[in-house]
Amino acid sequence: MIILALNSGSSSLKFKLYLWEERKTLMKGVVERIGIPGSFIRFDIYGKGDKKIEEECVDVRAALKLVIDTLSQGENAVIAKLSEISAVGQRVVHGGEKFKSSVLINDEVLEAIKSVKDLAPLHNPSNIAGIEAAQELLPDVPQVAVFDTAFHQTMPESAFLYAVPYEWYGMYGVRRYGFHGTSHLYVSRRCATILGKKPHEVNLISMHIGNGVSICAVREGRSVDTSMGLTPLEGVVMGTRCGDIDPAIPLFMIEKEGFYAEEIDGILNKKSGLLGITGKYMDRRDIDKAAAAGDRRCQLAEEIEAYHLKKYVGSYLAALGKVDAIIFTAGAGERNWQLRQRSMTGLSHFGVKLDETKNQAAVSYEKEALISADDSAVKIFVIPTDEELVFIEDVVAILEGRYETHTHFKYSFEDPNYKRKKQ
């Protein structure tokens, strides 16, 4: 069974072609600069290394056609014909309250996804375009939607409701939804397995730290709170997103500068966070380098980010009570040992102690690592995420008629003997 996993963004299309029976990636890659001059596809064929082909892609449909042609035609082909693809797994960022698990896409499901696109205007339109492009280019191939928000549908009302007029929830769905759900699901299940326990036997704090950042409180294997909210803007400081701020700030700046709502939205999502503080960098590697060279604003950005991460960890320690482990994952969480050290320093009174030597050694996208001190009451792990494997397992299980909601479904990576393959 061959599964094509797709992640459609506003200007990029990530993909992975996966041979399920052999647990093997046949090809993975990304089309970048969609709708922008100079677009190209960069891909890796299993065992043959990276390649890049430049080709103009005016929209998601053109990008998907380029992916399909690359997979199935010419010297780079890894399949002989498109009928070898058993299904397509589509990442959908926002499922609102309508979707608590992955589902087979039909007309009704697609319309339901469209009905909540206003909740994620930066993401869902691109996800929808990817689904419709696949329907056109692969009309006989079933598609499955995998939702970022589904994992967080176990949150109680006390965690997901905002203290705004209650009618807003009923009329417009204004509530906390949370994101990065497939990542939090994967690393929390892996962590339980590493600890030698079942998911319902552990309480965890999962920290997904990439350009976007979200923290998740996991009680007995279920999400009970998370830092991102109605949209991915809320929470800790991110690469270009502001995270938590006084809600009056946008109104204040509209009054002072005469901004339109769209301008404020763009500033808070694309020109704030680490980029806003430093004035020039959103990549933490650049910030670390400049901070080490004495750039005060970069040093300040590091301090602010660590402080916000630490505050969320502290709040979730209080919310959960007993915590078995804290998990770092995603790009910076997996590779940036300085960020981990800054955010964990000063938590020893809560039983959280980092081992600096172990932490500095844990900089791999492939290896899981324990980085807490031997006498730390709360374990600290670095666990590389694998969201696409969650996609693929959901798709396969739905095709085989054995899928259940994630609260009851057991994944292959929960097996104690599971070994992560190089992707």
For 300-349, how does the pLDDT look when each residue is reduced to its tens digit (9 = 90+)? 999 999 999 999 999 999 999 999 999 999 989 999 999 999 999 999 99
**Mean pLDDT, to the nearest integer, of 82-91?**
93
Sequence-ordered list of residues with C-beta below 8 angstroms from that of 90, at least 6 positions apart, any chain? 6, 8, 105, 127, 130, 131, 134, 143, 144, 145, 146
- Rounded Cα–Cα distance for residues 423 and 420 (Å): 9
Percent of the chain at pLDDT > 90 equals 73
Model pLDDT, residue 15:
92
Distances (CA, A) of 255 to 252, 267, 269, 293, 372: 5, 15, 19, 38, 48
Q: Which one is catalytic: 44, 148, 286, 288?
A: 148
CA dihedral for 308, 310, 316, 318, sign (positive or negative): negative
Digit-coded pLDDT (tens) for 262-294? 899 999 998 999 999 999 998 888 999 999 999
Sequence-ordered list of residues with C-beta below 8 angstroms from that of 398, at least 6 positions apart, any chain? 87, 102, 103, 104, 144
- CB-based burial label for 5 (10 Å; 0-12, 13-18, 19+): buried
Query: In the chain, what are the domains?
Result: 2-147 (3.30.420.40), 196-382 (3.30.420.40)
Residue 261: Cβ within 10 Å count: 9
Length of the chain as a residue count: 423
Digit-coded pLDDT (tens) for 149-185? 999 999 999 999 999 999 999 998 999 999 999 999 9
Is residue 423 over pLDDT 60? no
Percent of the chain at pLDDT > 70 equals 99
Asked if 375 is an active-site residue, the reply is: no
Digit-coded pLDDT (tens) for 290-308? 999 999 999 999 999 999 9
Confidence of residue 12 (pLDDT cuts 50, 70, 90): confident
Is residue 46 over pLDDT 80? no
Is residue 422 over pLDDT 80? no
Closest C-alpha among 84, 23, 48 to residue 412: 23
Rounded CA Rg of the chain? 21
Q: Work out the mean pLDDT of the chain and round it to a whole number.
A: 92
Digit-coded pLDDT (tens) for 358-393? 999 998 878 999 999 999 999 999 999 998 889 899
Whole-structure pTM value: 0.92
- Rounded Cα–Cα distance for residues 77 and 54 (Å): 17
**Mean pLDDT, to the nearest integer, of 74-97?**
90
